[in-house]
Structure 1
Amino acid sequence: MTNLNVVDILKKSDALLEGHFLLSSGKHSNKYVQCAKVLRFPQYAKDVLSTVVEQIKDLDIDLVVGPAMGGVIVSYELGRQLEKEAVFTERKDGIMQLRRGFEVKEGAKIIIAEDVVTTGKSTIETKKALELLGGKVIGVACIADRTNHDIGMPIYSAIKLDIQVHDAENCPICNEGKIELVKPGSREFKELGI
């Protein structure tokens, strides 16, 4: 599957959105990738993530871990295709943790599974939590890589997207004042009342 096919699937499933979006990092963007829209179709999830599996299948992986919410289905599907155990982390009191009786064996080689990586905030928090438990994170596997900087680990993605991101105070969309700001993601912003 080529990047063009991945883009086609993102568009067919209404996962590639255009407008004015508040990202979980607090930054603003004119485009947003809502991978939950892709993941609601098992065949699309299988097809898109098979491109990532091709990139990581020869890595020595013991465990696939996805941060909740976006990484839960991704970790399951990657684990299914790789025939590896798949679990997830979640925030409790604002801290990313492994819960529900999930365990990391000392020295376990872990791939983090994400839907979209933009700033890497959830990925880096998950990596820290897993390393505190004795795991060794070898990279992150995702549907869409939106990063424009090094997050300190290899990224294996179905597609690399170059989408503009702006600090809230310098957002040209806000300055135009024509498109309302929307927060489509799952992370809450207590300081913004969202």
Structure 2
Amino acid sequence: MTHDEVLGEFRAAGALLEGHFILTSGLRSPIFLQKMFVFMDPVRTERLCRALAEKARATFGTIDYVVSPAVGGIVPGYETARQLGAKAVFVEREDGKFALRRGFVIPEGARVLMVEDIITTGLSSRECLAAIAEYPGHVVGAACLIDRSNGKADLGVPLVALATLDIPTYPADALPPELAALPAVKPGSRGIQGVKA
């Protein structure tokens, strides 16, 4: 699947939004990728995750476990694992820190791929990888549908992405005038109860 085909899937799902958005990282952006609009279509999700699985397999070889951060990574992690013939587990926050819960473990010798939906700064990916490091499996790399850091996010492991974008982000106190003129919206899962901009 090409870069343009990936973006075409997001556009067709109405998931490529323009405005003034507060990202999970706290940074502001004129573009937001509402991946849940993509994930509500199982056929579209399967198509994207099959392409991601093929790219991950070609880069990293056999994968035994896919680990994803909750909530946004669960759907693509599960579907990518299904395409790879691997087990799918996820980390959740416990006392503010990612951890495997629900009896999930990663056995010794397991080849592990961390799968994310979209990477911006890489913070949640690094936190997920830190949780995986508590177990004896071997992390071979990471994969995501879209890397919106344009390859700048350093995860500490090799990363494959279906599409790489260079979408500008800004601190709240350094907005360009055209962005500052728009009302800020926090559309991600952490903003469900509302955030004051």
Please give the residue correspondences for 1:110-121 in structure 2 after superposition, counting only pairs within 5 Å: 110-121=112-123
What is the letter of the counterpart of residue 96 of structure 1? F
Residue in 1 that maps onto 2:159: 155
Distance in 1 separating the partners of 2:108 and 2:192: 34
RMSD: 2.0
Asked if the contact 1:50–1:81 (Cα under 8 Å) also holds between the matched residues in 2, the reply is yes
What is the letter of the counterpart of residue 185 of structure 1? G
Aligned: 1:26 with 2:26:
yes
Q: Give the alignment's TM-score, normalised by structure 2.
A: 0.90
Distance in 2 separating the partners of 1:135 and 1:169: 42
**Could you list the per-position Cα deviations for residues 97-144 of structure 1 after superposition, in whole angstroms to 9, with x for gaps in the alignment?**
100111111242211111101111111001101101223222111111
User: Which 4+ stretches in 1 moved above 6 angstroms?
Assistant: none
Asked if the contact 1:145–1:155 (Cα under 8 Å) also holds between the matched residues in 2, the reply is no
Distance 1:168 1:53, change over 3 A: same
Distance 1:75 1:157, change over 3 A: same
- What SS does the aligned partner of 2:68 have? strand
Q: Give the alignment's TM-score, normalised by structure 1.
A: 0.91
Equivalent of residue 137 in structure 1, options 136, 139, 142: 139
**Could you list the per-position Cα deviations for residues 40-96 of structure 1 after superposition, in whole angstroms to 9, with x for gaps in the alignment?**
101111111222112112423220011001110011101111111001111122110
Q: For structure 1, which segment, 54-63 or 81-90, has the greater mean C-alpha deviation from structure 2 after superposition?
A: 54-63
Aligned: 1:15 with 2:15:
yes
Please give the residue correspondences for 1:45-194 in structure 2 after superposition, counting only pairs within 5 Å: 45-58=45-58, 59-147=61-149, 148-173=152-177, 177-187=180-190
Distance in 2 separating the partners of 1:176 and 1:17: 14
What is the letter of the counterpart of residue 176 of structure 2? P
Distance in 2 separating the partners of 1:178 and 1:170: 13
Asked if the contact 2:119–2:147 (Cα under 8 Å) also holds between the matched residues in 1, the reply is yes
What is the letter of the counterpart of residue 166 of structure 1? Y
- What SS does the aligned partner of 1:80 have? helix
Distance 1:133 1:17, change over 3 A: same
Q: For structure 1, which segment, 53-62 or 87-96, has the greater mean C-alpha deviation from structure 2 after superposition?
A: 53-62
What is the letter of the counterpart of residue 31 of structure 1? I
Identity %: 39
Give the gaps of 5 or more residues in structure 1: none
